[in-house]
Amino acid sequence: MNRNKKIAYITVVFVIAVIAYSVYWDSYKANPSNGGFVPKIGNIAPNYSFVYASNGTIANISSLRGKTVLLWFVATWCSGCAQGNEILNGNMSFFESRGIDVIEVELYKDLGYSGEPISSFVAEYAPNASAFRDFHSAISGYNLSLAYDGRGYLDIYYLIGHNGTVIYENNGTLAATMGQLKNTINRL
């Protein structure tokens, strides 16, 4: 296949994926209980449940109180999220040294696309992260994804303080905003 045909093929596949994603996500976020709410800095983090991938334990956001937590939502088919894992892999000691738990959460049903399980995704792109006791991978329920990512971003994260309030939010990729996040943490 020549270069122009490859570019045309990739463009068509991309456009189809964007259309399918937008149709799926519009129905996903149409839940009237969402009301367009996105957690705001200074507010108590919405309390919904998730499942730890390592052992199937169900937990909720309020169970994290007493700890400062980076709650990072990803789609396991997202290349930016894979890059974020690689960056996270090299920065886990930073989070551990500041007493911050990192919970990487696979968005509900991977936002409608087929991706690998979160545990495989982490093992592939952040193989050293699991060695840190303060790192956990998890799977989001519908309400958690909707409450924290009602706009359907592929890579969004929140820093939640020990008292359960949102300290920092960013909908830029973790890979591109790690420096900002670290500066915010250093100012805590």
Q: So where are the chain's domains?
A: 31-186
Q: pLDDT band at 5, cuts 50/70/90? A: low
Residue range 144-169: mean pLDDT, rounded: 91
pLDDT for residue 141: 92
Q: Is the pTM of this model over 0.85?
A: no
pLDDT single digits (tens) 44-63: 999 999 999 999 999 999 99
Residue range 120-144: mean pLDDT, rounded: 93
- The CATH-assigned architecture of domain 31-186 is 3-Layer(aba) Sandwich (3.40)
* Better-predicted residue by pLDDT, 27 or 60: 60
pLDDT single digits (tens) 80-112: 999 999 999 999 999 999 999 999 999 999 988
Average pLDDT value for the chain: 84
* Better-predicted residue by pLDDT, 12 or 77: 77
Q: What is the DSSP string of the chain?
A: --HHHHHHHHHHHHHHHHHHHHHHHHHHTT-TTTTT----TTSBPP--EEEETTT--EEEGGGGTTSEEEEEEE-TT-HHHHHHHHHHHHHHHHHHHTTEEEEEEEPGGGGGS----HHHHHHHH-TTGGGSTTEEEEEE-HHHHHHH-TT--SEEEEEE-TTSBEEEEE-S-HHHHHHHHHHHHHT-
